Amino acid sequence: MTMASLTNTSLLIFSCLLAVSLSVSGRPATFLEDFSVTWSDSHIRQIDGGRAIQLVLDQSSGCGFASTRQYLFGRVSMKIKLIPGDSAGTVTAFYMNSDTDTIRDELDFEFLGNRTGQPYTVQTNIYAHGKGDREQRVNLWFDPAADFHTYTIMWNHHHIVFYVDEVPIRVYKNNEARNIPYPKMQPMGVYSTLWEADDWATRGGLEKIDWSKAPFLAYYKDFDIEGCPVPGPANCATNAGNWWEGTAYQALNAMEARRYRWVRMNHMIYDYCTDKSRYPVTPLECMAGI
């Protein structure tokens, strides 16, 4: 191969890589690059030059932030250290939302506060085409207030997976062929909030918030969004070459499947799929498997 051919080949490869980098959003370096405060900026404090933030809940207010862009498919993750000690009645949420009033799509992590010494519960929920009420609850098998842990939402054309560190705790398959709604048309923003919800959050509202323990503090860092930004290149979301659409991400691998079953057998405390008082007929998506 001649030097000219090598140069042309190198330029072609560079052009392809550049095209991919422009169509897919990568990891933001600081909070201010990809997020903005949406609620009570006095209760969100930047740490380490914006690479981490502290969320504050007291009797005057909670707080929240959101991504400055929306995304259609991809992977979103954050490292979070939850409220230590007596956090009953508080909710720390990390979720994606289409921000549409009537036909909402939403993917939720909600961390439900606890009394000191009790396990932290994470509730997940999925809204697709405006229909939600798909709650599942898992007791975390570690203390999420002692250190940072990674919480991830993977969303592609094949399934949605919620991960705690590397452990999948929930899978929602794309079964549109069986007339089961699946979020794929509306881009979603990335949100987080810290708020008081003692009418339902801890033991169904039996445990109330103890304001003498305020302020309640949660910490976030390592914000990671890899997906198709909207507005952005029109063909990004349908590009089968996006890494999150690859074969390795179309279903759980063997190790992930074992971890998923372990969570469901040992740590799941509520599943709408088995709640006959709410759903006498099992919802179709509950029989789809992983």
Task: Write out the E strands in the chain.
Answer: 35-39, 44-47, 52-57, 63-67, 70-81, 90-97, 106-112, 121-127, 136-139, 149-155, 159-164, 167-173, 189-196, 216-230, 268-271
Higher pLDDT, 244 or 24: 244
Q: Could you tell me which of 167, 111, 171 has the C-alpha nearest to residue 143?
A: 111
Lowest mean pLDDT among 55-59, 156-160, 208-212: 208-212
| pLDDT value, residue 2 | 52
**Is 161 within a domain?**
yes
**Is 73 within a domain?**
yes
Mean pLDDT calculated for residue range 184-213: 88
**Is 179 within a domain?**
yes
| Dist. CA 38–CA 67, nearest whole Å | 9
- Residues 6 or more apart in contact with residue 66 via CB below 8 angstroms: 35, 36, 38, 189, 190, 191, 192
What total number of domains does the chain contain?
1
Q: Percentage of the chain surpassing pLDDT 90?
A: 74
| Dist. CA 157–CA 225, nearest whole Å | 17
Does the pLDDT of residue 31 top 70, yes or no? Answer: yes
**Is 15 within a domain?**
no
Half-sphere exposure of 90 (CA within 13 A, CB side): 31
Does the pLDDT of residue 23 top 70, yes or no? Answer: no
* Residue 110 tokens, joined: 């909600």
Lowest mean pLDDT among 25-29, 89-93, 210-214: 25-29
Lowest mean pLDDT among 41-50, 74-83, 209-218: 41-50
| Dist. CA 199–CA 203, nearest whole Å | 9
Does the pLDDT of residue 212 top 70, yes or no? Answer: yes
pTM greater than 0.85 (yes/no): yes
Mean pLDDT calculated for residue range 223-251: 94
Q: Could you tell me which of 223, 52, 198 has the C-alpha nearest to residue 114?
A: 198
**Is 281 within a domain?**
yes
| Dist. CA 170–CA 242, nearest whole Å | 22
CA dihedral sign of residues 285, 262, 90, 188: negative
Radius of gyration of the chain (CA): 20
Average pLDDT, the chain: 89
Higher pLDDT, 49 or 258: 258
Contact 208, 115 (CB under 8 A): no
Q: Hey, which residues are catalytic here?
A: 106, 110
Q: Tell me the pLDDT tens digit for each residue of 119-152.
A: 999 999 999 998 889 999 999 999 999 999 999 9
Band (106; pLDDT cuts 50, 70, 90):
very high
**Is 230 within a domain?**
yes
In the 8-state DSSP scheme, what is residue 188? B
**Is 146 within a domain?**
yes
**Is 17 within a domain?**
no
Band (271; pLDDT cuts 50, 70, 90):
very high
| pLDDT value, residue 268 | 97
| pLDDT value, residue 185 | 93
| pLDDT value, residue 27 | 54
Q: What residue has token string 């909670």?
A: 62
| pLDDT value, residue 19 | 40
Lowest mean pLDDT among 87-91, 141-145, 206-210: 206-210
Q: The domain that contains 85 carries what CATH number? A: 2.60.120.200
What's the domain range around 86? 31-287
Does the pLDDT of residue 157 top 70, yes or no? Answer: yes
